[in-house]
Amino acid sequence: MESTVILNETDAGELLTLQRAAYVTEAQAHQDLHLPPLTQPLADLADELRSPDVVALGLRGSGARLVAAVRVRVDPDRPHVAELGRLVVVPDLQGRGLGSRLLGLAEQRLPDSVTTMRLFTGEHSAANLRLYARFGYTETHRTSTPGGYDIVHMTKDVH
């Protein structure tokens, strides 16, 4: 069984490796190798993990390997809104419920002030869209990208 951990800037290198590995399939599905999770510099990720507005959760498997992670950012100007991002699972363990478990944990750990969760994913991310729909997220709108695909924006009322 995987253990839940709070990630911080000391985990940035390992998290970046996991993030890049997990987003390769997204890049292939969208024919876009320039997705921000693939090009994010290590220093920027470390800064993000230091931010008091961001909580990063991870799951560590046997041998303490980081196998899944997610980040939640509460908007300091709108403390009722949280944005879920970069939900990633190591490719060799995808489809085994780790994403669902992590998404549930992220929602459980939201501050009481949060009433709305937001997220986005690419239109060709079928597994992600199914997961988010199962958890009660609904599409609010789409935005076009220069790469010729749409970003699907979703929201959910919480608490």
pLDDT tens-digit series, residues 4-36: 999 999 999 999 999 999 999 888 989 888 888
pLDDT at 147: 86
Burial 106-130 (b: 16+ CB within 10 A, else e): bbeebeeebeebbbbbbebbeebbe
What does the block give as tokens for 80? 């009722």
pLDDT of residue 62: 84
Tell me the per-residue pLDDT of 57-115, one tens digit each, with 9 for 90 and over: 999 998 899 999 999 999 899 999 999 999 999 999 999 999 999 999 999 999 999 99
Q: What is the pLDDT of residue 1?
A: 75
- Whether pLDDT at 119 is above 80: yes
Confidence at residue 114, expressed as pLDDT on a 0 to 100 scale: 96
Question: Domains, the chain, ranges and CATH?
Answer: 3-118 (3.40.630.30)
**Over 50-106, what HEC string results?**
HCCCEEEEEEECHHHCEEEEEEEEECCCCCCEEEEEEEEECHHHCCCCHHHHHHHHH
